[in-house]
C-alpha cells in the first residue's frame, strides 16, 4: 500500500500524521510512504529524517492525494483537501464530525473510507487514539488558563498558587476522564485549589482513591456545577461523549453569575464545545471576552507542543495504521471490532450513530458497511 502524509494546513497546526519511526515501520512491512516536503518541520522532523527512514518526499499535497491508497493526517481535512479525496481511498485522522455538517457531507460525497482516531476503542472501553492528545490537552489547559487569568490578558489577575497570606486560584474541572484528570493534576501542582466534577460515582471514587488530597471531587449535578462555577477563577470544560456533540454545561445567561474576569477553558471545542458561548479559536488569536468572562477555545490545543504531541500520537496510531496497510481496511476492521468503531464514513454513507443523531443523517451500520 502507498501511505501518504500531507502537511497540515489548519492554522497554527504544527503536528504531522506520520513520524519517521512510523514511516520506517511501514517500509519494513513492505509498504511505500510518501511525505509532503516540510510536513514534519513543525514537529522537528526534516525531509532528510523521512528519507533516511525510507520514505519518498513529495513536492505537493495534490501529488499525495492523487497517488496514495491511504491518507494519514492529524486534523480533519480542510475544504481544499476534501476536494482531493477519492472513492476507495482510506482517510485515517481525527474527524470530529458531530458539530461539522459541511465536512460530513463532503466526506460522504468523496466516496472515501474515513476512519476517525477519536472513535477507535479498546477492550477497556477507552479511546486509545484520543487519549494521548487528551493527556496533552489536559496538561496544557491549566497552563493556558493561568496565562488567560493574567490581568493583561483580560483575566481576574489571580495567581494560580497564590502567595503566603493570599489564597490560590479556585479551579473547577468539569469532567473526570483523561482530560479532566490530567488538568486537575497540573492545576493542583501549580498550587491551585481544584475540584473535579463528574456524574460517575465510580470515577469519583477512583480519583479520590488514586489522588487523595491533591484535589477535591464533587458530583456534577446542575445545581452543584453552577454553585462551584460561581466561586471559580477558572473553569476547565473536559467532558466527552464519544463521537457526539459535547453537552452545554454553562449557558450564556449563567455567565452573569460568574466572577468578572473568570476564565473558561473549553477542551471540548473540537466536539462543539461544552459552554454555550464557546466558539473555536486559534493559537494566533486564542481568547475572547463574552460579558466579562474570558474564553480560551483553541481547537487544536496539542498543536502548541507539536513535537511531544506528534510522537505521542504516532506511538498510538502506528499499530492501527500498519493493520490497515497490511490487511486493507475491510479485513483490518473485520479482525478488530475496536478499529471498526472508528469507521465514520464509507462509500457515501455515514456509519457512526452519534454523528448521525447529531446531524440528522441516516446511518449505515458499520457491520453492514463491511459487507457492502
> Same structural domain for residues 118 and 160?
no
How far is residue 34's CA from residue 91's CA, in Å, rounded to a whole number? 14
The CATH number covering residue 45 comes to 3.40.50.720
Beta-sheet pairing, 263-266 with 234-237: parallel
Angle between helices 131-149 and 306-327 (to 10 degrees): 160
| Residues 280-317 pLDDT 10s | 999 999 999 999 999 999 999 999 999 999 999 999 99
Residue 58 belongs to domain spanning: 2-126+306-370
64-101 pLDDT per residue, tens: 999 999 999 999 999 999 999 999 999 999 999 999 99
Look at the chain and count its residues: 372
3-state secondary structure of 194: strand
Yes or no: say if 352 and 116 are a contact pair by the CB < 8 Å rule: yes
Give pLDDT, residue 213: 87
DSSP secondary structure of 73-103: -SSPPPHHHHTT--TT-EEEE----TT-HHH
Adjacent-strand bridge partners of 36: 58
Last residue of a domain, one of 243, 274, 296: 296
Q: Identify whether 301 is part of a domain.
A: no
CA–CA gap between residue 33 and residue 3 (Å, rounded): 5
Residue 339 lies in a domain: yes
- Which pLDDT band holds residue 242 (cuts at 50, 70, 90)? confident
Nearest-CA neighbor of 166 among 154, 158, 155, 174?
A: 158
Instruction: Indicate if 176 and 117 belong to the same structural domain.
Output: no
Q: How confident is the model at residue 240 (pLDDT cuts 50, 70, 90)?
A: confident
Provide the domain count of the chain: 2
The C-alpha atoms of residue 364 and residue 349 are separated, in whole angstroms, by 6
Task: Tell whether 141 is covered by a domain.
Answer: yes
Same domain, 115 and 250: no
Classify residue 196: in a domain, yes or no: yes
Contacts for 273 with CB less than 8 Å, ≥ 6 apart: 99, 237, 246, 248, 266, 279, 280, 297
Q: Which three cell numbers stand for residue 78?
A: 480542510
Q: Are residues 134 and 117 in the same domain?
A: no
Question: Within this chain, do residues 195 and 261 fall inside the same structural domain, yes or no?
Answer: yes
Boundary (domain end) residue, out of 266, 296, 326: 296
Say how far apart CA 228 and CA 283 lie, in whole Å.
29
C-alpha cell at 285: 488569536
Residue 189 is assigned to a structural domain of this protein = yes
The average pLDDT across 325-335 equals 98
Helix 131-149 vs helix 178-189: crossing angle, to nearest 10: 40
Same domain, 238 and 151: yes
Q: Are residues 218 and 244 in the same domain?
A: yes
In a domain, 207, yes or no: yes
Whether the predicted pLDDT of 223 surpasses 80: yes
The predicted pLDDT at position 129 comes to 97
Backbone angles phi, psi at 17, to 5 degrees: -75, -25
Specify the pairing of strand 343-346 against strand 349-350: antiparallel
16 and 34 belong to one structural domain = yes
* Band (244; pLDDT cuts 50, 70, 90): confident
> Across all residues in the chain, what is the average pLDDT?
96
Helix (H) or strand (E) holding 334: helix 329-335
Separation of alpha carbons 139 and 319, rounded Å: 25
Share of the chain above pLDDT 70, in %: 100
Count Cβ neighbours within 10 Å for each residue of 174-200 and write b for 16 or more, e otherwise.
Answer: bbbbbbbbbbbbbbbebebbbbbbbee
Residue 96 within a domain: yes
User: Is 201 part of a structural domain of the chain?
Assistant: yes
> Residues 114-151: pLDDT tens digits?
999 999 999 998 999 999 999 999 999 999 999 999 99
Q: Which residues are identified as catalytic?
A: 96, 270
pLDDT at 11: 86
- 187 and 207 both lie in a single domain: yes
Q: What is the mean predicted confidence (pLDDT) over 276-281?
A: 97
Residues 232 and 87 in one domain: no
Query: What does the pLDDT read at residue 359?
Result: 96
Domain stops at, among 296, 330, 346:
296
* pLDDT of 40 above 90: yes
Please indicate, yes or no, whether residues 239 and 207 belong to a single structural domain of this protein: yes
pLDDT for position 141? 98
The Cα–Cα gap between 92 and 18 comes to: 11
Dist CA 295 CA 286 (whole Å): 8
- For residues 15 and 306, the answer to whether their CB atoms sit within 8 Å is yes
Whether 372 shows a pLDDT value over 80: the answer reads no
Q: What is the mean pLDDT of residues 205-210?
A: 96
Question: pLDDT tens for residues 17-32?
Answer: 999 999 999 999 999 9
Pair 138, 249 in one domain: yes
| Pair 339, 333: CB distance under 8 Å | yes
Amino acid at each position: 500500500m502507498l501511505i501518504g502524509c500531507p502537511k497540515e494546513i489548519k492554522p497554527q497546526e504544527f503536528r504531522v500524521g506520520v513520524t519517521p519511526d512510523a514511516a520506517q515501520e511501514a517500509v519494513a512491512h513492505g509498504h511505500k510512504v510518501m511525505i509532503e516536503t516540510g510536513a514534519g518541520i513543525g514537529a522537528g522532523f526534516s525531509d532528510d529524517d523521512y528519507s533516511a527512514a525510507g520514505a519518498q518526499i513529495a513536492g505537493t499535497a495534490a501529488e499525495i492525494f492523487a497517488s496514495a491508497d491511504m491518507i494519514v493526517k492529524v486534523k480533519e481535512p480542510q475544504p481544499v483537501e476534501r476536494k482531493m479525496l477519492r472513492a476507495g481511498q482510506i482517510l485515517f485522522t481525527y474527524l470530529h464530525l458531530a458539530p461539522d455538517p459541511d465536512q460530513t457531507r463532503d466526506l460522504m460525497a468523496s466516496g472515501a473510507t474515513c476512519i476517525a482516531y477519536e472513535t477507535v476503542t479498546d477492550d477497556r472501553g477507552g479511546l486509545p487514539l484520543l487519549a494521548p492528545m487528551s493527556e496533552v490537552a489536559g496538561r496544557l489547559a491549566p497552563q493556558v488558563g493561568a496565562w488567560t487569568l493574567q490581568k493583561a490578558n483580560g483575566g481576574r489577575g489571580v495567581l494560580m498558587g497564590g502567595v503566603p497570606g493570599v489564597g490560590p486560584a479556585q479551579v473547577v474541572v468539569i469532567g473526570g476522564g483523561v482530560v479532566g484528570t490530567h488538568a486537575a493534576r497540573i492545576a493542583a501542582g501549580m498550587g491551585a485549589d481544584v475540584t473535579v466534577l463528574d456524574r460517575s460515582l465510580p470515577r469519583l471514587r477512583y480519583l479520590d482513591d488514586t489522588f487523595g488530597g491533591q484535589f477535591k471531587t464533587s458530583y456534577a449535578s446542575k445545581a452543584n456545577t453552577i454553585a462551584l462555577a460561581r466561586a471559580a477563577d477558572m473553569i476547565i470544560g473536559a467532558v466527552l461523549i464519544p463521537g457526539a456533540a459535547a453537552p452545554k454545561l454553562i449557558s450564556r445567561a449563567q455567565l452573569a453569575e460568574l466572577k468578572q474576569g473568570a476564565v473558561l477553558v473549553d477542551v471540548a471545542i473540537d466536539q462543539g464545545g461544552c459552554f454555550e458561548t464557546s466558539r473555536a479559536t486559534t493559537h494566533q488569536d486564542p481568547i475572547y471576552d463574552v460579558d466579562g468572562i474570558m474564553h480560551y477555545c483553541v481547537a487544536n490545543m496539542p498543536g502548541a507542543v507539536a513535537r511531544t504531541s506528534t510522537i505521542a500520537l504516532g506511538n498510538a496510531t502506528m499499530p492501527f495504521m500498519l493493520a490497515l496497510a497490511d490487511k486493507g481496511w475491510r479485513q483490518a476492521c473485520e479482525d478488530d471490532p475496536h478499529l471498526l468503531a472508528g469507521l465514520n464514513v464509507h462509500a457515501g454513507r455515514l456509519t457512526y450513530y452519534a454523528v448521525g443523531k447529531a446531524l440528522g443523517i441516516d446511518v449505515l451500520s458499520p457491520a453492514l458497511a463491511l459487507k457492502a
